[in-house]
Amino acid sequence: MSQDPLVVFTPSGKRGRFPVGTPVLTAARQLGVDLDSVCGGRGICSKCQITPSYGEFPKHGVTVAADALSEWNAVEERYDQKRGLKSGRRLGCQATVQGDIVIDVPPESQVHRQVVRKAATARVIEMDPATRLFYVEVEEPDMHEPTGDLERLARALRTQWDIPAIDTDFAALQTLQRVLRKGHWKITVALYKASDSATPRLVAAWPGLHETGLYGLAIDLGSTTIAAHLTSLETGQVVASSGIMNPQIRFGEDLMSRVSYAMMNPGGDAEMTRAAREAIDTLARDIAAEAQVDPSLILETVFVCNPVMHHLLLGIDPVELGQAPFALATSGPLELSAAELGLAALRPSARIYILPCIAGHVGADAAAVALSEEPGKSQDLVLVVDVGTNAEILLGNTTRVLACSSPTGPAFEGAQISSGQRAAPGAIEAIRIDPVTKEPRFRVIGCDLWSDEDGFWDRTAETGITGICGSGIIEAVAELRLAGLLDEGGLIGSAEQTGTTRCVPEGRTHAYLIHDATAEGGPRITVTQGDIRAIQLAKSALYAGARLLMDEMGVDTVDRVVLAGAFGAHISPLHAMVLGMIPDVPLDKVTSAGNAAGTGARIALCNTASRREIEATVREITKVETAIEPKFQEHFVAANAIPHKTDPFPELAKIVTLPKVAFNTGGDREGGGRRRRRA
């Protein structure tokens, strides 16, 4: 039989016949099988490792003989001795086809491998990084035919990698000569390809075969914190995660006070830009040090952020975002270099990608949530809420996606709450109030026991009980309502009205005492009437925003709710529903997506095609501006009641019965309907 041997690749199933002697890498390339190689088949990078399978494969109609691949050659022997080749593995560029063969490409050898997130959701990221490594051997300069080093490198990429042309980052050019000579004309270059059709851009070069990796940063630049994931651009693995406070806080706690700062102080925007960039530099250096990665190996950074942070990062005065019509300088995606963005910790030629903004109040962070949660691919109608100082809200299914932002203010983060504090050890994060005794029990961050369990006080002695964090205050308010200590209008009852001395007078109103540590020099932790009002304002804004999108969609209910944001991960769905933060759905239809914006940034970092995808999605999203919708105010006022003045919560009613209490004795109600300024 004169037929060429059949080569079957798994897991792709791609197959073809190749002449005896064809290297497996060559066969893979011709079939379009995803098999990595940095050195171009020279047997030095080991990226093209494959696992041959022997025996009967009825599924493929193949019988693989023991000699279906060439014997180990000297290159493989040497590599195995030096580095060790996993049992059963071969180098795809060295092993040649001798007979019918089934070849498995293990995930480590795939460029487009899939990275499964640790989190609960099934979303996987397919690797498709914009930056790739190419090992080349460049001709030495010749006086008789003088050409520049760069031109000879371009020629080598053309002949050795079929890359017809490259652009060159100026900073990369400045160091090229040294690298070429240090590598004795054998170097590895990193080429960045913005899109399928773009000309690859030379961004870095190293002498010889570069084996110390290639990294990217996914940065969620928030108003309060800046969080980064240092990610391998080869494997997609997060090698370190870290966060830092946004130093712009000294110019204003919330976004609007920062915009005001820029308005009132000439050069104030530049000051804030400098502060943010310096913090990013610090974060980049710290996270690289933590992972023991040279910062010069960070070749890409993806940013997600709200529009004000977006402009301040870019060095654009955010003043237009502080007033109607909230015009962005640009809503499109941005691609630039670390040098252009003035980031000193990174290689000047490192590429920066900033996701597009959806609207003047709905930023690249919301776009990242959309990329991560994909409401537009959901069959059922999903409401995605990213809870923070501003809530970004997405509503959609396969027919349509809507977006808005709503000015919830910082109450959900424990700010502007009398005993509020940031989530840190010692902060009450969960609380239950006995409906009969009206006594509380609680849990604090740093200890997994409840306060009525044995050992709680010993275990928390070091941190003490210091305050209430965002999720704690939501539970506290909801528990007060469930225990009949708080009425629908949001009034805390007096000790007389409620029958518990935990309800203590505080001026003309009442507060609920959770824990008094003053005897030990600690704080007295209460939920005051003012705290209730702050939470009411926040939750009303959130609910009103969601309701506005539901109006626009023409629906009264949604099928499921996704809570995004680091805070969203800690919110108890039951308590959120009692509070009326989110529309009524069965409790098991409320899920947490964790830091969806950060996940979106990671996806964009690891998968170039996803950038085009979210750019297209953002263009198609229907933007709803809460500030100018008259119905927003109406929804806001109706949502002030706990859980709601008019909307029924039938799913909630199936689980709990809210006590019908009313503590308003006819006195003035203070401020419950006050509309918060945008923040």
Contact residues toward a second copy (CB under 8 A) are 140-151, 168, 170, 173-174, 176-178, 314-317, 320, 324-332, 334, 336, 339-340, 357-360, 623, 625, 627-628
Task: Name the residue nearer to a second copy (CB basis): 351 or 539.
Answer: 351
* Nearest CB to a second copy, comparing residues 324 and 662: 324
Residue 517 vs 628, nearer CB to a second copy: 628
Q: Of the two residues 269 and 429, which places its CB atom closer to a second copy in the complex?
A: 269
289-326 burial, b for 16+ CB within 10 Å, e for fewer?
eebebebbbbbbbbbbbbbbbbbbbbbbbbebbbeeeb
Residue 269 Cβ vs a second copy, minimum distance, rounded to whole Å:
10
C-beta of 450: minimal distance to a second copy in Å?
A: 47
Tokens of 243: 């966060």
Give the DSSP letter of residue 582: S
Q: Give the whole-angstrom CA distance, residue 352 versus residue 522.
A: 47
Residues 6 or more apart whose CB falls under 8 angstroms from that of 614 comprise: 355, 356, 367, 368, 370, 371, 600, 604
Residue 315 Cβ vs a second copy, minimum distance, rounded to whole Å = 5
Which CB, 35 or 354, lies closer to a second copy?
Answer: 354
**Sheet of strand 15-17: strand arrangement:** 15-17, 6-10, 101-104, 49-53, 90-91
Supply the minimum distance, in Å, between the C-beta of residue 118 and a second copy.
Answer: 35
Minimum CB distance to a second copy smaller for 53 or for 168:
168
> Is residue 219 within 8 Å of residue 238, measured between CB atoms?
no
Exposed, middle or buried: residue 650 (CB in 10 Å: 0-12, 13-18, 19+)? Answer: exposed
Considering beta carbons, is residue 333 or 568 the nearer one to a second copy? 333
Instruction: For the CB of residue 358, give the shortest distance to a second copy in the complex, in Å.
Output: 8
Strand order in the sheet with 427-433: 440-444, 427-433, 467-468
CB 215 within 8 A of CB 233: yes
Q: How far is the CB of 60 from a second copy (least distance, A)?
A: 48
CB of 437 to a second copy, least distance (A): 52
Supply the minimum distance, in Å, between the C-beta of residue 184 and a second copy: 14
* Beta carbon nearer to a second copy, 400 or 623: 623
Token pair of 501 as six digits? 């001395």
Least separation in angstroms between residue 320's CB and a second copy is: 6
Output the smallest distance, CB 312 to a second copy, in A. Answer: 12
Nearer to a second copy, 90 or 361 (CB): 361
- Provide, rounded to whole angstroms, the least separation between the CB of residue 316 and a second copy: 5
Question: Which residue's entry shows tokens 């800046």?
Answer: 226
Neighbours of 84 (CB within 10 A): 9
- 12: part of which helix (H) or strand (E)? none
Q: How far apart are CA 221 and CA 341, in angstroms?
A: 14
Q: Please, which residue, 303 or 512, has the CB nearer to a second copy? A: 303
Q: What is the DSSP string of 192-221?
A: E-SSTTSPPEEEEEEESS--S--EEEEEEE
- Name the residue nearer to a second copy (CB basis): 269 or 413: 269
Tell the smallest beta-carbon distance from residue 42 to a second copy (Å): 24
- C-alpha to C-alpha distance for 562 and 546, rounded to whole angstroms: 12
Q: Pick from 642, 604, 665: which is nearest to 220 by CA? A: 604
Task: Tell me how far, at minimum, the Cβ of 144 lies from a second copy, in Å.
Answer: 7
Q: Shortest distance, CB of residue 323 to a second copy, whole angstroms?
A: 11
Tell me the β-bridge partners of 501.
none
Beta bridge partners of 504: 511
Q: Which of 168/463 has CB closer to a second copy?
A: 168
Please list the alpha-helical segments (H only) found in 107-241: 149-161, 170-182
Pick the closer one to a second copy by CB: 168 or 296.
168
326/338 Cα distance (integer angstroms): 28
268-290 and 307-314 are packed helices; what angle lies between their axes, rounded to 10 degrees? 90
Which residue, 607, 663, 418, 648, is CA-closest to 524? Answer: 418
Of residues 173 and 661, the one with the C-beta less far from a second copy: 173
The C-alpha atoms of residue 647 and residue 584 are separated, in whole angstroms, by 9
Q: Which is nearer to a second copy, 116 or 336 (CB)?
A: 336
CA Rg value for the chain: 30
402 in Cβ contact with 395 (< 8 Å): yes
**DSSP letters spanning 468-480:** E-HHHHHHHHHHH
Which distant-in-sequence residues (6+ apart) come within 8 Å of 3 by Cβ? 17
The smaller minimum CB distance to a second copy, of residues 222 and 360, is found at 360
Q: Compute the least distance from the CB of residue 562 to a second copy, in Å.
A: 24
Strand 351-354 versus strand 334-337 pairing type: antiparallel
CB of 170 to a second copy, least distance (A): 5
Give the integer Cα–Cα distance in Å for 517 and 461.
Answer: 11
